Amino acid sequence: MAAARLSHVTAARAGATRGERGAGERVAPGGRRAGDAPGSPFCQGLGKRYQASLAAQVFCRGVQPHEPSGPGARAPAAGHRVPGAPGNVDAASPAEDVGPGGLRAYGQSEVSIGASGKYVVEAWNDATGVFAACPSPKAQFTGFGFSSNGGRSFTDLQGLPDARCSQYLYLGDPSVVAYRAGGRSYFYISSMFDAVSGAGRSFVALAACQVTGSAGRSALHCSQPIIAGASSQCQGRVCSFLDKDYLAIDPAHGRLYAAFTEFGFTDAGAVEASVCDLGTPAGRAGPAGGTPAAPVCKHGTGLHPVGANKLADKPYLTIQQPDPGGCEYEGAYPAADTATGDLYVGYEYNWATSVVALQCRNSPRVRNIMAKVPRRCLALRMVSPCAAPAARASVPITSMFAANLPGYNRSPNDFPRLAVSDQAGTVTMVWNDAGLHPYGDVLLQSFTLASLRPVQARPVALDVPHRGGLTFMPAVRTATAAGLLDVTWYSRDAVTTSDTVVKAALGVSPRAARTPAANLTITTVPSNWDDQISDIAPNFGDYTDNALDATSTIPYVGGTLYVAWTDGRAGVPQPFEAHLPAGR
């Protein structure tokens, strides 16, 4: 049984072998042939020394077709409507999933969402980018949709603007946050941003998008790419690789933060962060000259010409240095404290290397880590005045990375998701964990803001016991106006089915000591993951998302929760949205 599971979780390595046999015939983003990027040290180590995101898989290997489901998979009975669930909306248009040459692509996944009043933006990884080339907007692997009616319907806006698309493209792993300032609504969409040739610096870039118009004539106008992170190591035209970006916003101080992993030439990842000036809540320029429509980002010195002395470049702030033993740090996720201006970053240690790296299999234990960065370390300058976070805390976890999920062509990650509650005086992480029963629970662990001292004696399960089912990929973003947490996740009733729903625990106290009495089902129809067509792996991404609508006054959140997930009810993975009153 163990051997069978390991063969599944190393599917990326098997896929690489298959890809190498016909690399010249496979297509990577932007129309380049797969085989260009695999010459990089990062791609050579992918699946051998560490694992990385869907976007990284596409960057290195091109198309990732659907792989066989796990043993015991079966097609469930016809989907039934779930009573009491909120309305579910497909945020994309399948009509847009056709490249300029007439080739239809299959699959959108890895979703993120933000909302401001009646305006909502959802972004996703779009498989059409694998088969399109510049100047088509479909060449961008990051797709997004816009709603001006509170999420009741969306307009698929295809790909983000990119005047340099012949050189660099948005490669996916999107993160979306919303900002309300000066009576206007803004959205920031970040993604990995990498060279079409596969050589040169790796970046995290973001688009600043502003809502214009009113009533039924609202539109979303997005900027050209703004660099929010850059490779700090280069040798010739070969550079380190940035992966798994995520954003957090501090509307009280007009700051935007990005956290991500940088894979160097020989290490298994360092966790880093950068800061952007968004101006003031009134919409005027901030200390670094940034405005809500034109952020100014401080991301280190990594913009020297390729080939320059690599020692001259530094990231803005290294949250976690690479592990000397070669065990992986990945899955960075930031959360901002609007009261103090402090930043918290969560991430996982020894994630995939507990499987793919022999030296990391027995020790150290897989852990989720929380780091605290005081506001004084977040100055608007090229490099932070601090060398490291002020404090860290960690929780040993039982990883689900070796799980073989029917219908899912990758293993689930255990990355933590964070939320700050000033009312409770806590910062909380949630993640999926197989420690309580073999097929996973969503666990919650909170820490005091002052010292990162654990609040609970042990993590608390948020999913109501479901007799041996599966629970994975939770999401949480910000606390409600009352300081409570709304957590959502994927759930299955049994390990022998691919029938998947999204569930929620609403209004959870960050200081909770016991499992909630009930969970709410978000999806109206179960999604059968076993009968899907997809050109990318993971076919359903490796994260979900939720967000409260943004406001311009304390506590900077409204009363509506927006939930985003990848849904397969149509036979092709699609980015879905639902909204409901936030937990009180």
Domain boundaries in the chain?
Answer: 2-56+87-581
pLDDT at residue number 267: 95
Tens digit of each residue's pLDDT (9 = 90 or more) over 301-350: 876 665 555 455 899 999 999 999 999 999 999 999 999 999 999 999 99
Tens digit of each residue's pLDDT (9 = 90 or more) over 22-51: 333 345 555 544 444 656 788 888 888 888
The CATH code belonging to domain 2-56+87-581 is 2.120.10.10
SS3 193: strand
Cα separation of 408 and 352, whole Å?
17
Whether 68 shows a pLDDT value over 60: the answer reads no
- 59: confidence class by pLDDT, cuts 50, 70, 90: confident
Angle between helices 54-61 and 11-21 (to 10 degrees): 20
Tens digit of each residue's pLDDT (9 = 90 or more) over 490-546: 999 988 889 999 999 999 999 999 999 999 999 999 999 988 899 988 899 999 999
Residues 6+ away with beta carbon under 8 Å from 40: 60, 198, 199, 238, 239, 241
Whether 195 shows a pLDDT value over 80: the answer reads yes
Cα separation of 211 and 230, whole Å?
28
Q: Which of 187-191, 215-219, 332-336 has the lowest mean pLDDT?
A: 215-219
The CA distances from residue 19 to 27, 56, 62, 65, 560, in Å, are 10, 15, 8, 11, 45
Cα separation of 242 and 272, whole Å?
9
Q: Which of 85-89, 239-243, 304-308 has the lowest mean pLDDT?
A: 304-308
Task: Tell me 104's DSSP state.
Answer: B
Task: Provide the β-strand partners of residue 563.
Answer: 546, 578
Share of the chain above pLDDT 90, in %: 74
- Tell me phi and psi for residue 47, to 5 degrees: 85, -5
- 471: confidence class by pLDDT, cuts 50, 70, 90: very high
The one-letter code for the residue type at 468 is G
Whether 214 shows a pLDDT value over 50: the answer reads yes
SS3 356: helix
Whether 552 shows a pLDDT value over 60: the answer reads yes
Tens digit of each residue's pLDDT (9 = 90 or more) over 395-408: 999 999 998 888 99
Q: What's the mean pLDDT in 459-487?
A: 93
Whether 3 shows a pLDDT value over 70: the answer reads no
Residues 6+ away with beta carbon under 8 Å from 345: 259, 271, 273, 319, 332, 333, 334, 335, 370, 371, 373, 389, 418
DSSP string across 96-111 = G-B-TTS-B---EEEE
Whether 242 shows a pLDDT value over 90: the answer reads yes
Share of the chain above pLDDT 70, in %: 87
Whether 225 shows a pLDDT value over 60: the answer reads yes
Tokens read off for 499: 């029938």
| 304 alpha-carbon distance from chain centroid | 28
Whether 429 shows a pLDDT value over 60: the answer reads yes
Total number of residues shown for the chain: 584
Cα separation of 379 and 526, whole Å?
47
- 15: confidence class by pLDDT, cuts 50, 70, 90: very low
Q: Which helix (H) or strand (E) holds 502?
A: strand 499-508
Q: What b/e sequence results for 525-536 when a residue is b if at least 16 CB atoms lie within 10 Å of its CB, and e otherwise?
A: bbbbbbebbbbb
pLDDT at residue number 64: 59
Which of 355, 437, 362, 350 has the alpha carbon at shortest distance from 396? Answer: 350
Task: Tell me 42's DSSP state.
Answer: H
pLDDT at residue number 40: 77
- Tell me phi and psi for residue 34, to 5 degrees: -60, 145
Whether 367 shows a pLDDT value over 90: the answer reads yes
Tokens read off for 317: 């702030």
Beta strands in 312-421 (DSSP E): 317-320, 329-336, 343-349, 367-373, 391-396, 417-421
Tens digit of each residue's pLDDT (9 = 90 or more) over 244-266: 999 999 999 999 999 999 999 99
Better-scored residue on pLDDT, 3 or 429 = 429
SS3 442: strand
Q: What's the mean pLDDT in 486-493?
A: 96
Better-scored residue on pLDDT, 465 or 513 = 513
